[in-house]
């Protein structure tokens, strides 16, 4: 379909993307459970995906959607490895608390 | 070097004066360089750890060469010469210059001084080669290096042609004195004495440095001949220079008092007896302490510029002489007695300078060098032989002991000269000074003259007290502190051998023969006083030579001289003639007292002392005299203690305020700052993430809104500018 | 005043988030979520102006529904104290996002998102959550661990999040006028040209007697006129093309992927390979637990010394 966008519609999509980004951001900082932290990063990915696709659709450029495919790929890879590491950490300290792994300090 | 060789080869058998003058005298520089060569070679010996008497040989040869060259120079002398060795300081700028070259100024005064400095230096080096033999391999080389340094510096002082070379020599002799007094550096008393000598000398050196600066700024030069030229020029009048010409003599005087151990600054000389005896003989009797006298004689015209400069010198000298004589009367250590005697005789020399007889002072310097050297050297021989025993209560009858006769009789010669026995050298030189005190009219000079006569009596008493106690009477001796574990009862005194005896005899002969120059007829008309007067006449100090007519015109040409010269008398008789008899009588009285108390009836001395101590009215006299009038204690209380307390206060200030508050405080700032920021490193990943993202967001906001921010700031500054304009217009329109 | 309206909405959202993050009873949390959703709806409304910007009313409604659903699920996910519920809310977010993508005519992406995220990644998260999430106190098996109940520094996080949101809002509202001109849909038709067999089939379906191939001008067969795209055949016939002929989103994405980003595909494959290797290596490490440690793990406390055998 050769339907075109209005700029304000694009703004709407971008605001939604920004909202998801900001909320995921807040969640990443606030939650202490490691797994929920990673879920919030995935939330940020969602926001980014919406932004990519919206702007790509605005310019009828499909690179946006291609970017989303790659985001998906990377998110999957990262999730796999992150969860493997979380499992190992849990085995070591028997907790999922992010504050229990605070050795990276002065 | 080539010129020296050519002049040597060209020297025929005829009197050398025709060859050397007007040829260049640059070979005279070797008088200065030979002690330096000796120093370098002694340094090499020290580096090679030589264990023989080689350093002594080197030093004697080099100093002997200096003496021979001096003799040659004296032989060919006709008029004052300047010998340029090399350009030293040549600083020129628009409107001024400071020129001080390494040059030798040879006039007869220089030669007079150099003769006895190099001569006695050589002889005492020979004496020391045997005296210091206990220390071969341990400090022998260091001693002779010190002696070489000393002679180099003294030569520099005496032969320099400008005040800067004199200052160089001044400091050099001060350093050499410190080095040699502290020769026995393992003894804390020696180290303390060396420091005391150096520090007290330093007080005088301040005066000298300031004086040299003032001279340069007033006269534009520091060279002696140019200063004389300025003084004699037509443009000179009484208002020349303002306050500086009145300050210069006092500063020079301060320097001379420090170096020559006069009243406020004499305290270092008795303690300097901690050094080895040859050092005491050479430096603290014959040569270094005369540097002050030399300074004043060299700058004599400058002392005429202020009315009260020379009287001050005279009074200080006279009081020093009296004080030192009273202290010497109550000491028991014979070297200390000789030290106080040196101070007293130096007081005489300054008295002579003050009453405007530079001839008398110079002659006394000359004779004193010989007889004081011989006295010190005999004390040294006694110390050497009796393992360090110097207490006159524990030695007696030395002249009857085998091998000690030479020592005893040379000591007798020295004592006779010191006491002013008729027809010895000391008699004539002291008379010149005492007589002039009555001849010259000045503030209180008559009183000073009688005080000096009284002091002469005291001098005779304490000198013969020493001789009668030590060398006469029944034979008795005890070994001293340096016995090193031998049994006291089996101690045998160690009689002096060839080197010491030879030197003692030579110097004693010199002391006796030093009377002869008095009788040499004068070539210059109207001059009397013999050879010494001739030597002094050819120098800037000629005003102090008897017979020189100083009339009103010449006096005005030289500045203000407010006291008449040459018109006083004593008890109605001409002072010079009267003094022959007065000083002889006073000397005999003194010797008579010494004979009674210390030879015929020795117990009478102890009884007298006991009676004085018992009575409350007179108790203070012997105790004060024995304790040197408590001068050292007064200095400690008034000068050293306040400085000590001030030093402690400053150290506390430094520790708590500067170190504590400033340095550590500033050093602590990074620590405090770090503590503020340390919680950022808490190991929680999320807090790191907050910092990162927060920073990134803020930066992005800043970049996005940068144009608006810049506009806002500009509008603010425009507002400020407009406010200033408003205020300015308001203020201007008032 | 109009300038600050979006920021006021942001502030409201931030405050509600902060309130929702504090440990509070369920009703309070639900209220806060509702207010938050309302605030975000307000923000979106301010920014988009009117729904007529969207193509049709239905699209506008769907946009509102999907976006508010996403935001509500996001807020609830962030503030919920039980991690399993967080994961489930995340699934809802993924579905809402897929809906938004559908509205953007990116159906391939929408379903790919659902398949990969909700179908694969979230399942993995669920597995790990069930493995690792344990009750703190055996007496109360439904209570959550302390680190789930109490958040860390909500104030700082909300502040930074608020700043971020303001930044984005400001960019979007301020920059909407400075966007480059929107594109036209010509690039889609040019892809159709390249798919010659499909193109031909579609054209011949509509107009069986079209003389294939059409004439190309400037290298392109499809021309654009006032009424849309058309092709000109060799004998002068002009055929107007229908929008139904356009390649599907999947075809477009595939075309763009292979044509423009071949290397990136390879790299993505490598990344996945590495992830697989990494996961295998990480999970391989077997930890030998002593009896004592095993008991400690199972029972949750240290065991007695008696009976300790190695």
Q: Is A98 an interface residue toward B (CB < 8 Å)?
A: yes
Question: Is residue A52 domain-resident?
Answer: yes
Q: What would the mean pLDDT of A81-99 be, rounded to a whole number? A: 84
How many helices (H) and strands (E) would you count in chain B?
Answer: 31, 4
Chain A residues close to C251, C-beta within 8 Å: none
Taking alpha carbons only, the member of B357, B245, B254, B342 closest to residue B303 is B245
- What local confidence, expressed as pLDDT, does residue B623 receive? 78
- State the average pLDDT for chain A: 86
Ranked by mean pLDDT, which of B469-483, B662-676, C126-140 comes out on top? B662-676
Percent residues over pLDDT 90 in chain B: 23
Q: Looking at the 3D structure of chain A, how many domains does it have?
A: 1
Chain A residues close to C160, C-beta within 8 Å: 25-26, 29
Q: Which of C156, C167, C170 sits opposite B690 (nearest CB)?
A: C156
Give the distance from residue B703's alpha carbon to the nearest chain C alpha carbon, in angstroms.
11
Across the interface, whether the CB atoms of C167 and B700 are under 8 A apart is answered yes
Torsion B19-B20-B26-B31 (CA) sign: positive
Which conformational region is residue B615 in: left (phi greater than 0), alpha (psi within -120 to 50 degrees), or beta? Answer: beta
- What local confidence, expressed as pLDDT, does residue C176 receive? 65
**If 0-12 CB within 10 Å is exposed, 13-18 middle and 19+ buried, where does residue B671 land?**
exposed
Across the interface, whether the CB atoms of B701 and C164 are under 8 A apart is answered no
Higher pLDDT, B171 or C144: B171
How far is residue B125's CA from residue B594's CA, in Å, rounded to a whole number?
34
- State the average pLDDT for chain B: 81
Asked whether the predicted pLDDT for residue B354 surpasses 70, the reply is yes
Chain B residues close to C153, C-beta within 8 Å: 686-687, 690
Instruction: Band the pLDDT of B237: cuts 50, 70, 90.
Output: low
Nearest CA in chain A to B680: A105
- What local confidence, expressed as pLDDT, does residue B173 receive? 93
- What local confidence, expressed as pLDDT, does residue B726 receive? 65
Give me the torsion for CA of B700, B704, B706, B711, rounded to 10°: -150
Domain of A70, CATH number, reads 1.10.287.3510
Question: Which residues, at least 6 apart from B348, have a Cβ–Cβ distance to it below 8 Å?
Answer: B317, B321, B364, B430, B433, B452, B455
Asked whether the predicted pLDDT for residue B567 surpasses 60, the reply is no
- What local confidence, expressed as pLDDT, does residue B621 receive? 77
Chain C residues close to B686, C-beta within 8 Å: 152-153
Across the interface, whether the CB atoms of B681 and A102 are under 8 A apart is answered no
User: How far is CA B206 from each of CA B202, B210, B227, B331, rounded to the nearest angstrom?
Assistant: 6, 6, 21, 32
Give the distance from residue C59's alpha carbon to the nearest chain A alpha carbon, in angstroms.
11
Question: Is residue A25 domain-resident?
Answer: no
How far is residue C130's CA from residue B723's CA, in Å, rounded to a whole number?
70
Question: Is residue A16 domain-resident?
Answer: no
Across the interface, whether the CB atoms of C170 and B700 are under 8 A apart is answered no
Taking alpha carbons only, the member of C130, C275, B685, C293 closest to residue A85 is C275
CB of B291 closer than 8 Å to CB of B252: no
Question: Is residue A1 domain-resident?
Answer: no
How far is residue B415's CA from residue B407's CA, in Å, rounded to a whole number?
12
Instruction: Band the pLDDT of B525: cuts 50, 70, 90.
Output: low
Higher pLDDT, B586 or C60: B586
CB of B494 closer than 8 Å to CB of B407: no
Give the distance from residue A70's alpha carbon to the nearest chain C alpha carbon, in angstroms.
7
Across the interface, whether the CB atoms of A11 and C172 are under 8 A apart is answered yes
- What local confidence, expressed as pLDDT, does residue B16 receive? 40
Q: How many CA atoms lie within 13 A of B439 on its CB side?
A: 24
What's the pLDDT tens digit per position in B625-660? 778 788 888 888 888 888 999 999 999 998 888 888
How far is residue C143's CA from residue C267's CA, in Å, rounded to a whole number?
44
Q: What would the mean pLDDT of B234-260 be, rounded to a whole number? A: 80
Question: Is residue A8 domain-resident?
Answer: no
What's the pLDDT tens digit per position in B392-419? 888 888 888 888 888 999 999 999 999 9
What's the pLDDT tens digit per position in B69-119? 999 888 888 778 888 888 888 888 887 788 888 888 888 888 889 998 999
Question: Is residue A9 domain-resident?
Answer: no
Q: Is A25 an interface residue toward B (CB < 8 Å)?
A: yes
Asked whether the predicted pLDDT for residue B20 surpasses 60, the reply is no
Q: Is A48 an interface residue toward C (CB < 8 Å)?
A: no
What's the pLDDT tens digit per position in C256-268? 899 899 999 999 9
- State the average pLDDT for chain C: 81
Higher pLDDT, B207 or B218: B207
- What local confidence, expressed as pLDDT, does residue B17 receive? 41
Higher pLDDT, B599 or C250: C250
C: neighbours with 3+ CB pairs under 8 Å?
Answer: A, B
Percent residues over pLDDT 70 in chain B: 86
Could you tell me the residue range of the domain that residue A81 belongs to? 32-94
Question: Is residue A7 domain-resident?
Answer: no
Asked whether the predicted pLDDT for residue B549 surpasses 80, the reply is no
Residue at token pair 């007065």: B582
Asked whether the predicted pLDDT for residue A18 surpasses 90, the reply is yes
What's the pLDDT tens digit per position in B132-146? 888 777 788 899 999
- What local confidence, expressed as pLDDT, does residue A97 receive? 80
Q: Is C24 an interface residue toward A (CB < 8 Å)?
A: no
What's the pLDDT tens digit per position in C185-238? 777 788 888 887 888 888 888 878 777 777 777 777 777 777 777 777 777 777
Q: pTM higher than 0.90 for the full model?
A: no
What's the pLDDT tens digit per position in B335-353? 999 999 999 999 999 999 8
Nearest CA in chain B to A26: B690
3-state SS string for B378-429: HHHHHHHHCCCCCECCCEECHHHCCCCHHHHHHHHHHHHHHHCCCCCHHHHH
Which 8-state DSSP code applies to residue B43? H
- Number of Cβ pairs < 8 A linking chain B and chain C: 25
């Amino acid at each position: 379909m050769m339907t075109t966008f209005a700029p304000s519609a694009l703004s709407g999509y971008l605001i939604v993307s920004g909202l998801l980004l900001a909320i995921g951001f807040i969640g990443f900082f606030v939650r202490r459970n490691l797994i929920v932290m990673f879920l919030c990063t995935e939330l940020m990915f969602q926001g980014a995906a919406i932004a990519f696709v919206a702007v790509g659709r605005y310019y009828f450029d499909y690179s946006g959607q291609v970017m989303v495919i790659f985001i998906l790929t990377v998110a999957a890879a990262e999730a796999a490895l992150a969860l493997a590491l979380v499992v190992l950490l849990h085995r070591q300290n028997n907790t999922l608390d992010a504050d229990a792994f605070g050795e990276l300090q002065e | 070097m080539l010129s020296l060789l050519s002049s040597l080869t060209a020297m025929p058998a005829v009197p050398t004066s025709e060859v050397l003058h007007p040829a260049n005298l640059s070979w005279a520089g070797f008088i200065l360089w030979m002690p330096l060569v000796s120093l370098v070679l002694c340094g090499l010996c020290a580096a090679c750890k030589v264990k023989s008497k080689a350093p002594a040989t080197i030093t004697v040869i080099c100093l002997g060469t200096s003496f021979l060259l001096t003799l040659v120079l004296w032989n060919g002398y006709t008029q004052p010469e300047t010998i340029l060795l090399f350009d030293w300081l040549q600083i020129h700028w628009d409107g001024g210059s400071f020129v001080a070259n390494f040059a030798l100024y040879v006039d007869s005064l220089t030669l007079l001084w150099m003769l006895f400095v190099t001569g006695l230096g050589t002889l005492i080096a020979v004496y020391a080669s045997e005296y210091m033999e206990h220390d071969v391999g341990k400090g022998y080389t260091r001693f002779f290096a010190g002696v070489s340094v000393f002679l180099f510096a003294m030569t520099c002082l005496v032969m320099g042609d400008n005040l800067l070379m004199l200052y160089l020599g001044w400091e050099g002799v001060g350093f050499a004195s410190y080095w040699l007094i502290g020769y026995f550096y393992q003894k804390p008393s020696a180290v303390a004495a060396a420091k005391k000598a150096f520090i007290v000398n330093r007080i005088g050196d301040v005066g000298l440095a300031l004086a040299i600066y003032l001279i340069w700024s007033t006269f534009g030069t520091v060279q002696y001949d140019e200063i004389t030229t300025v003084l004699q020029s037509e443009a000179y009048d009484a208002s020349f220079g303002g306050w500086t010409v009145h300050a210069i003599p006092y500063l020079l005087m301060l320097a001379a008092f420090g170096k020559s151990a006069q009243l406020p600054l004499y305290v270092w000389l008795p303690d300097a007896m901690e050094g080895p005896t040859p050092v005491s003989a050479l430096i603290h009797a014959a040569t270094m302490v005369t540097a002050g006298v030399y300074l004043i004689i060299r700058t004599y015209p400058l002392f005429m510029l202020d009315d009260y400069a020379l009287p001050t010198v005279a009074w200080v000298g006279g009081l020093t002489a009296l004080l030192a004589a009273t202290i010497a009367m109550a000491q028991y250590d014979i070297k200390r007695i000789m030290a106080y005697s040196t101070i007293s005789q130096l007081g005489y020399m300054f008295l002579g300078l003050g009453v405007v007889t530079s001839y008398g002072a110079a002659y006394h310097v000359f004779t004193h060098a010989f007889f004081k050297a011989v006295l010190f050297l005999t004390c040294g021989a006694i110390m050497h032989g009796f393992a360090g025993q110097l207490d006159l209560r524990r030695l007696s009858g030395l002249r009857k002991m085998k091998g000690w006769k030479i020592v005893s009789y040379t000591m007798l010669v020295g004592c006779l000269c010191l006491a002013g026995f008729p027809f010895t050298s000391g008699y004539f030189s002291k008379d010149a000074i005492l007589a002039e005190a009555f001849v010259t009219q000045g503030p209180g000079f008559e009183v000073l003259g009688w005080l000096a006569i009284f002091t002469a009596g005291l001098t005779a008493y304490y000198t013969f007290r020493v001789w009668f106690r030590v060398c006469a009477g029944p034979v008795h001796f005890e070994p001293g502190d340096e016995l090193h574990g031998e049994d006291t009862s089996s101690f045998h005194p160690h009689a002096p051998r060839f080197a010491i005896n030879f030197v003692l005899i030579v110097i004693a002969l010199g002391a006796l023969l030093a009377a002869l120059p008095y009788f040499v007829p004068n070539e210059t008309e109207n001059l009397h006083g013999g050879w010494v007067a001739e030597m002094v006449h050819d120098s800037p100090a000629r005003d102090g030579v008897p017979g020189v007519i100083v009339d009103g015109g010449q006096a005005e040409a030289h500045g203000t001289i407010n006291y008449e010269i040459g018109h006083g008398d004593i008890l109605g008789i001409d002072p010079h003639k009267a003094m022959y008899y007065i000083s002889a009588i006073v000397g005999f009285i003194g010797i008579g007292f010494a004979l009674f108390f210390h030879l015929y009836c020795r117990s009478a001395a102890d009884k007298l002392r006991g009676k004085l101590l018992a009575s409350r009215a007179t108790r203070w006299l012997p105790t004060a005299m024995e304790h040197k009038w408590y001068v050292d204690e007064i200095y400690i209380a008034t000068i050293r203690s306040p400085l000590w307390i001030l030093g402690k206060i400053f150290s506390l200030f430094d520790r708590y305020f500067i170190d504590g508050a400033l340095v550590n405080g500033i050093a602590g700032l990074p620590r405090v700052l770090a503590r503020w920021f340390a919680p950022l490193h808490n190991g929680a990943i999320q807090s790191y993430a907050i910092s990162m993202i927060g920073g990134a967001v803020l930066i992005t906001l800043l970049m996005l809104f940068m144009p608006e921010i810049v506009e806002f700031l500009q509008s603010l500054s425009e507002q400020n500018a407009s406010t200033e304009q408003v205020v300015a217009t308001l203020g201007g329109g008032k | 005043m109009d300038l600050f309206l979006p920021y006021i909405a942001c502030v409201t959202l931030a405050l509600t988030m902060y309130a929702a993050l504090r440990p509070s009873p369920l009703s309070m949390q639900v209220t806060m979520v509702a207010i938050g959703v309302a605030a975000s709806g307000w923000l979106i409304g301010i920014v988009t102006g009117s729904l007529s910007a969207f193509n049709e009313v239905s699209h506008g409604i769907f946009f509102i529904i999907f976006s508010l659903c996403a935001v509500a699920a996001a807020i609830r996910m962030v503030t919920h104290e039980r991690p399993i519920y967080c994961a489930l809310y995340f699934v809802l977010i993924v579905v809402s996002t897929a809906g938004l993508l559908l509205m953007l005519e990116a159906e391939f992406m929408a379903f790919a998102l659902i398949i990969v995220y909700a179908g694969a990644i979230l399942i993995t998260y669920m597995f790990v959550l069930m493995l690792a999430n344990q009750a703190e106190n055996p007496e109360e098996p439904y209570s959550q661990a302390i680190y789930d109940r109490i958040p860390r520094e909500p104030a700082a996080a909300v502040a930074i999040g608020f700043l971020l949101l303001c930044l984005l809002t400001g960019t979007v509202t301020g920059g909407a006028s400075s966007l480059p001109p929107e594109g036209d849909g010509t690039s889609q038709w040019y892809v159709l040209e390249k798919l010659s067999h499909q193109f031909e089939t579609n054209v011949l379906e509509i107009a069986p007697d079209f003389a294939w191939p059409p004439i190309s001008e400037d290298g392109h067969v499809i021309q654009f006129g006032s009424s849309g795209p058309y092709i000109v055949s060799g004998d002068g016939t002009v055929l107007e093309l229908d929008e139904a002929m356009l390649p599907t989103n999947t075809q477009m994405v595939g075309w763009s992927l292979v044509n423009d980003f071949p290397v990136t595909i390879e790299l993505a494959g490598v990344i996945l390979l590495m992830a697989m290797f990494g996961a295998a290596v990480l999970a391989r490490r077997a930890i030998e637990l002593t009896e004592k440690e095993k008991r400690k793990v199972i029972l949750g406390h240290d065991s007695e010394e008696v009976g300790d055998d190695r």
